[in-house]
Amino acid sequence: MLEQLRSIVQKVNAAKDLQSALDIIVHRVRDALDTQVCSVYLLDSDLNSHVLMASEGLNREAVGHVSLDLGEGLIGLVAKHAEPINLQDASLHPSYHYLKETGEENFHAFLGVPIIHHRSTLGVLVVQHEERRRFDESEEAFLITLSAQLAGVIAHAEATGAIEGISPSGHKTSDTVFHGVSGSSGVAIGHTVVVFPAADLSQIPNRPAKNIDKEIDFFNNALNSVRKDMRELHGKLAGHVAEEERQLFDIYLRMLDDDALGNEVVQRIKAGSWAQGALAFVASEHVRNFEMMNDEYLSERAADIKDLCSRVLFYLQEKEPVVTEYNNDTILVSEELTPAMLVEVPKEKLKGLVSVKGSGNSHVAILARTMGIPTVMGAVVFPYNQLGNKEIIVDGYKGEVISNPSDQVRKRYLNTIKEQDLLIAGLEDLKDLPCETADNHRVHLWVNTGLMSDVLHSLDQGAEGIGLFRTEVPFLLRERFPSEHEQLEIYREQLQAFAPKVVTMRTLDVGGDKSLSYFPIEEANPFLGWRGIRVTLDHPEIFMAQIRAMLRASIGLENLQIMLPMISNINEVNSAMQLIKKAHHELIQEKLEVKFPPIGVMIELPAAVYQTRALAKLVDFISVGSNDLTQYLLAVDRNNPRVANLYSAFHPAVLSALYQVVSQAQEEGKQVSICGEMAGDPGAAVLLMAMGFDILSMNAATLLKVKSVIRSVSLEAAQDLLDQVMQMDDAQMIRSAVDLTLYNAGVDRLLRSSRTN
Ligand code: PEP
Ligand code: MG
């Protein structure tokens, strides 16, 4: 059975289009189950009906012509309940709906199973037989297993038709939505330009080298050509993005200079392989290693290596360069977009980006956010290789791509773009105004930073302090731990740029999804493992170097605060405090005039919520890391797209934990802030302000939006809203209540939760 299943799925996978895939299914399943009829009905949402799309055993003329309304007949029943129906005699069932064109009156036994993809029912797979008998359990299990495996293939084939504007049954269709995740917010309408990697590394056969020295020269020349190209691209970035982001691009360049990669290829050529084969082998090894890394940021680097090596391969294959013509309204699309592909497009022509693979952590998404280009990542079913020059809409708010837009939808999005431009222009005026409510309650808006460019951008947005400097970011961008002196320089730059405003530096938070390539942590449950303060307390030498660097960097500026991540008990705080005191004492002994900075803890674990009071007694301030707190309270991996719908900071349990933290910190007379993503959600920010948070710390890009919303509500209205939502027991209801309050306060729809509609 397993063999048959595998072989059917393989054949269907290789089919050229939806109809051929369905024809293979009905033919092969009828044979495998040794039955008389196998048919597939697919939902055509434009027609609101299930259409008989393929059949082996029913009248051929009926295929493509016969359909059942939603809920009609046994097909409708299977689809509605999303459950199999197995009947000895279908005609006796009350829902049986006879379709005379099919000739099905001869068949009594009926087994129908739903075809479900990502919770939505695409159609029904049916087998029928003349005899009056129930299909047995193993036949039912076979059909269910097969249907589950085929659903993805059918969804993909349907998507391919949809991009051409054709529904499963061949009708014209419009406004097909392809889901991904948001890479960079905003909306763009434009025409697709699809780019492919320069050359395909997976298609290189193994061959011996005819002349080893010549192959080595050939490879070195190719490497030099790519180096030259990359330097040119690097130059093109100047002026488009901040210097730090250009440095991200430098890493890319350095991979070529890196002795490791080039050297490995040369060693393989010396061992007898031709240059192309040696390159393909080394590339695939590196790509595999990177892809296996737990850290999302690092696993995304596999795409960079692939791109780089295929550029070298391109020169080895002595291909003619492909000159891409970019439209004036280019939406750049690729299976796996890379920063190099992005910067090849003239800036004024680039309107949006769509990548089939990748996440919000991909380099290309980081660059897109800096450049303000609406981007959708991970649009897995988007049939990119079928696209020519096609008009599409990129909705970077929702992470959706819309093909064949109807006039109505296009008009709606054009309005959104206009509103977006007006909104952004209007927000500029708020930069120098205080963040206070309509009834004069003052809230402080700080920012989260990682790179130096974040700092510059933040100051530009009127940030009043840094609530979270993720010190691990500069660690992630290196090939070894930065020395105390190197850290000092990085920290000094941040402190100086913001002085006299406060900069809160978090001690190294690695582990979980952030592991350093030069300090790998292999664990079965990394989020419950060696992470944050647990790592640094076990490695006091790393912790001490970091604290010394922070303290030294603050000399004469005195705007430093230090914050400890992933605290689960008071012993961790006591131990960390001892080390900080030791570092301070050492520096005093070294005759440096270092002030002892305020120390705070992050509340990120449920255990810490219940210990807020005890923790607050030990430190100067409390800061809630709501990203992790939500993940740990709800037991939902913050990076797993399968459970992303369960991850909500509006969950009543999360709100009640936050409220408890604020109240207890206030009772201890300690300042309390929040630095998770929810602080940058304007609706959530209103609730957080009402709870009593003194400081909301967020991504600089959201700061003016939050300020604008807070300035349009009164503290009284926010507190009434908070009282209401604290009585609610469902995240969705809470979202709606917040949305309604913002609506009543006249807040622009692009700043509310529903955003583009
Ligand atoms: C958090 O967990 O909310 C937080 C701010 O830290 P990070 O996102 O870096 O884990
Ligand atoms: Mg965290």
How far is it, in rounded angstroms, from Cα 31 to Cα 297? 47
Among 406, 424, 456, the domain boundary falls at 406
CA 349 to chain centre: 25
How far is it, in rounded angstroms, from Cα 238 to Cα 719? 47
* Residues 154, 230 share a domain: no
* Residues 463, 355 share a domain: no
**Could you confirm whether 38 is annotated as catalytic?**
no
At residue 294, does pLDDT exceed 60? no
* Residues 717, 690 share a domain: yes
Atom of ligand 1 nearest to the CA of 448: 5
* Residues 372, 520 share a domain: no
Strand-pair partners of 395: 187, 400
How far is it, in rounded angstroms, from Cα 617 to Cα 670? 8
Q: Do the domain assignments include residue 742? A: yes
Q: The domain spanning residue 25 has which CATH number?
A: 3.30.450.40
From 467, 471, 470, select the one nearest 447 (Cα to Cα). 467
From the CA of 566, how far away is ligand 2's center (Å)? 7
Atom of ligand 1 nearest to the CA of 677: 3
User: Which ligand has the shortest distance to the CA of 504?
Assistant: 1
Read off the pLDDT of residues 411-459 as tens digits, 9 standing for 90 and up: 999 999 998 888 888 898 999 999 999 999 999 999 988 867 678 778 8
472 lines ligand 1 (CB under 6 A): no
Share above pLDDT 90 across residues of the chain, in percent, rounded to a whole number: 55
How far is it, in rounded angstroms, from Cα 542 to Cα 258? 26
Query: Which residues are CB-neighbours of 601 under 8 A, at least 6 positions away?
Result: 563, 564, 567, 573, 608, 615, 618, 619, 622, 623
Nearest CA to ligand 1 atom 9: 470
pLDDT band at 257 (very low <50, low <70, confident <90, very high): low
8 Å CB contact between 682 and 716: no
**Can you give the pLDDT at residue 263?**
81
Strand order in the sheet with 375-377: 176-179, 400-403, 391-395, 187-194, 330-334, 350-355, 375-377, 181-184
**Could you confirm whether 65 is annotated as catalytic?**
no
625 lines ligand 1 (CB under 6 A): yes
E-state strands within 180-229: 181-184, 187-194
8 Å CB contact between 350 and 342: yes
From the CA of 41, how far away is ligand 2's center (Å)? 47
Distances (CA, A) of 567 to 80, 629, 697: 48, 11, 19
468 lines ligand 1 (CB under 6 A): yes
How far is it, in rounded angstroms, from Cα 708 to Cα 584? 41
* Residues 470, 388 share a domain: no
355 lines ligand 1 (CB under 6 A): no
At residue 514, does pLDDT exceed 80? no
Atom of ligand 1 nearest to the CA of 675: 5
How far is it, in rounded angstroms, from Cα 113 to Cα 77? 10
8 Å CB contact between 708 and 746: no
8 Å CB contact between 723 and 667: no
- φ/ψ of 51, rounded to 5, equals -105, 135
Nearest CA to ligand 1 atom 3: 625
Q: Do the domain assignments include residue 529? A: yes
Cα angle vertex 103, ends 100, 108, to 5°?
A: 105
Q: Do the domain assignments include residue 39? A: yes
Nearest CA to ligand 1 atom 8: 627
* Residues 298, 360 share a domain: no
Length reported for the chain: 757
Q: ω into residue 500 within 30 of 0, thus cis? A: yes
Q: Do the domain assignments include residue 117? A: yes
How far is it, in rounded angstroms, from Cα 218 to Cα 216? 5
8 Å CB contact between 571 and 534: no
From the CA of 512, how far away is ligand 2's center (Å)? 9
From 228, 223, 207, select the one nearest 278 (Cα to Cα). 207
- Residue 706, SS3? helix
How far is it, in rounded angstroms, from Cα 332 to Cα 340? 12
Tokens coding 42: 């697919």
Tokens coding 497: 């740029």
From the CA of 625, how far away is ligand 1's center (Å)? 5
The catalytic position among 38, 309, 435, 675 is: 675
Q: Do the domain assignments include residue 599? A: yes
139 lines ligand 1 (CB under 6 A): no
From the CA of 629, how far away is ligand 1's center (Å)? 8
Q: Do the domain assignments include residue 368? A: yes
The distance between the two most distant Cα atoms of the chain, rounded to a whole number of Å, is 98
Q: Which amino acid is at 368?
A: A
675 lines ligand 1 (CB under 6 A): yes
Q: Do the domain assignments include residue 425? A: no
pLDDT band at 527 (very low <50, low <70, confident <90, very high): very high
The catalytic position among 108, 129, 363, 457 is: 363
Q: For residue 514, give the DSSP letter.
A: B
From 279, 332, 329, select the one nearest 309 (Cα to Cα). 279
CB atoms within 10 A of CB 168: 27
604 lines ligand 1 (CB under 6 A): yes
Site to substitute for ligand 1 among 509, 510, 697, most atoms within 8 A of C-beta: 509
* Residues 475, 454 share a domain: yes
From 431, 459, 480, 389, select the one nearest 190 (Cα to Cα). 389
Nearest CA to ligand 1 atom 4: 625
474 lines ligand 1 (CB under 6 A): no
From the CA of 498, how far away is ligand 1's center (Å)? 21
From the CA of 624, how far away is ligand 1's center (Å)? 9
Of 258-272, 356-370, 567-581, the range with the highest mean pLDDT is 567-581
* Residues 586, 696 share a domain: yes
- Residue 105, SS3? helix
CB atoms within 10 A of CB 590: 10
Q: For residue 255, give the DSSP letter.
A: H
Mean pLDDT for the stretch of residues 167-195 = 88
8 Å CB contact between 483 and 446: no
Question: What is the tally of structural domains in the chain?
Answer: 4
More confident residue, 686 or 450: 686
Site to substitute for ligand 1 among 470, 654, 697, most atoms within 8 A of C-beta: 470
Mean pLDDT for the stretch of residues 695-713 = 92
Nearest CA to ligand 1 atom 6: 625
From the CA of 288, how far away is ligand 2's center (Å)? 28
**Can you give the pLDDT at residue 283?**
83
Cα-Cα end-to-end distance for the chain: 48
8 Å CB contact between 716 and 388: no
How far is it, in rounded angstroms, from Cα 642 to Cα 640? 5
Structural domain of 397: 177-195+324-406
Q: Do the domain assignments include residue 340? A: yes
Cα angle vertex 716, ends 714, 717, to 5°?
A: 70
At residue 583, does pLDDT exceed 80? yes
Across the chain, mean pLDDT equals 88
* Residues 593, 464 share a domain: yes
470 lines ligand 1 (CB under 6 A): yes
**Can you give the pLDDT at residue 249?**
62
Atom of ligand 1 nearest to the CA of 676: 3
Mean pLDDT for the stretch of residues 370-388 = 84
* Residues 362, 215 share a domain: no
* Residues 144, 67 share a domain: yes
Q: The domain spanning residue 367 has which CATH number?
A: 3.50.30.10
Query: Which residues are CB-neighbours of 375 under 8 A, at least 6 positions away?
Result: 182, 183, 184, 352, 353, 354, 355, 364, 365, 368, 369, 394, 396
Kindly report which listed range (277-286, 292-301, 538-547) carries the lowest average pLDDT score.
Answer: 292-301
At residue 628, does pLDDT exceed 90? yes
Share above pLDDT 70 across residues of the chain, in percent, rounded to a whole number: 92
Distances (CA, A) of 105 to 76, 96, 136, 438, 527: 18, 11, 22, 72, 58
Q: The domain spanning residue 276 has which CATH number?
A: 1.10.274.10
Tokens coding 358: 């990748």
628 lines ligand 1 (CB under 6 A): yes
627 lines ligand 1 (CB under 6 A): yes
Rounded to 10°, the helix 452-460/700-712 angle is 30
More confident residue, 227 or 737: 737
513 lines ligand 1 (CB under 6 A): no
Atom of ligand 1 nearest to the CA of 604: 2
Among 368, 386, 406, the domain boundary falls at 406
Tokens coding 103: 């000739």
At residue 244, does pLDDT exceed 60? no
Among 293, 316, 339, the domain boundary falls at 316
* Residues 393, 348 share a domain: yes
How far is it, in rounded angstroms, from Cα 334 to Cα 45? 28
Strand-pair partners of 333: 194, 354
